Amino acid sequence: MQTNNTTQKRVLITGAAGFLGSHLSDRFIKEGYHVIGMDNLVTGSMKNIEHLFPKKEFEFYFHDVTKFVHVPGKLDYILHFASPASPIDYLKIPIQTLKVGSLGTHNLLGLAKEKKARFLIASTSEIYGDPTVHPQNEEYWGNVNPIGPRGVYDEAKRFQEAITMAYHTYHGLETRIVRIFNTYGPRMRLNDGRALPAFFSQAIEGKDITVFGDGSQTRSFCYVDDLVEGIYRLLLSDYVNPVNIGNPDEITIKEFAEEIIKLTGTDQKIIYTPLPTDDPKQRQPDITKAKELLDWEPRVSRKDGLKITYDYFKQILAKVAG
């Protein structure tokens, strides 16, 4: 625990009101850091961080990082987690998605250079596109459609990795790149169109469970606490190249829907609707690097993680209904 104010580390977390940003804010406060959360609330929600407002270790800036970013005082770390992160967001706000990954990252790299702060970016398994290599390791370059509906996210994130690496090699900035695979847990946005919130809300509200395509596409879901632990370890490590963080426990989307039907006890049925364009067929992280470099691997089983997440969605939907 760092409690002394002169030595207390200061970390800027962009996207702090989002799903991952809010959990990271919690973690850094728990570790004794001073956290400066930044968000423009395009996809984030104040509800995710309202519990942090009474804490003196937390301050919040309402700001769009695609505009010049100013933060007074020292900064030890910058974690750039601001970005839409769901396929329906890319369709609704494609330009903002591109800008936050490109212009936003450039502004924050400038800030990191000025403050001599270590910079960590939230990259993604989406940089692998619809992968032709399985499982995906960090050496795989990907199979991305730049002009498809996901291109705005995938290419922004690829640019983000490129410019971050350039700041490292050209300016000697300390940088870290985490490639995040599908992650779930409390504070996921209810209507973000992703499989897990969709299935839970449909099951709880008594609607048909919408599986896209024939449901044979796979994903590997990581519980949020495991992800945060991996990111925390990566930040404090001295490894500069990208590291996959995710849970290798792969499942088809049809089986995933069936697990949620069983857990919720709903009598709703699966209905099959068209598969969105460029929806990756198979996704599973190779986490050898994270194991070797960070001594990290996921600890929370899908069974346990889903139970906690189900309780969260029940509560949220009861509030919405009540």
**Which residues of the chain form contacts with ligand UDP (CB under 6 A)?**
87, 182, 194-195, 198, 210-212, 217, 219, 253, 276, 279
**Least distance to ligand UDP, CB of residue 233, Å:** 24
CA nearest to 96, candidates 129, 127, 126, 65: 65
Nearer to ligand UDP, 18 or 37 (CB): 18
Across-strand partners of 220?
Answer: 250
Q: What are phi and psi of 293, to 5 degrees?
A: -85, -35
Nearer to ligand UDP, 87 or 230 (CB): 87
Q: Which residues, other chains included, contact 11 with Cβ-Cβ below 8 Å and sequence gap of 6+?
A: 28, 33, 34, 35, 36, 75, 76, 77, 78, 79
Nearer to ligand UDP, 271 or 318 (CB): 271
Nearer to ligand UDP, 45 or 210 (CB): 210
Give the span between the Cα atoms of 205 and 60, in whole angstroms.
34
Nearer to ligand UDP, 118 or 187 (CB): 187
Q: Is 184 a catalytic residue?
A: no
Placement of tokens 């983000």 in the chain: 160
Query: Which tokens sit at 43?
Result: 């996809």
Peptide bond into 135 cis (omega under 30): yes
**Least distance to ligand UDP, CB of residue 294, Å:** 23
User: Which is the catalytic residue, given 33, 90, 128, 153?
Assistant: 153
CA nearest to 144, candidates 154, 136, 159: 154
What are the Cα distances from residue 286, in Å, to 213, 222, 280, 292?
25, 13, 16, 12
Give the span between the Cα atoms of 265 and 140, in whole angstroms.
40
What are the Cα distances from residue 304, in Å, to 49, 124, 228, 310, 315?
24, 24, 17, 10, 17
Nearer to ligand UDP, 138 or 279 (CB): 279
Give the span between the Cα atoms of 105 and 167, in whole angstroms.
11
**Least distance to ligand UDP, CB of residue 147, Å:** 18
**Least distance to ligand UDP, CB of residue 235, Å:** 24
**Least distance to ligand UDP, CB of residue 8, Å:** 37
Nearer to ligand UDP, 128 or 167 (CB): 128
**Rg of the chain (C-alpha set):** 19
HEC per residue, 58-116: EEEEECCCCCCCCCCCCCCEEEECCCCCCHHHHHHCHHHHHHHHCHHHHHHHHHHHHHC
**Least distance to ligand UDP, CB of residue 146, Å:** 17
Q: SS3 of 199, please?
A: helix
**Least distance to ligand UDP, CB of residue 113, Å:** 32
Task: Provide the annotated active-site residues.
Answer: 153
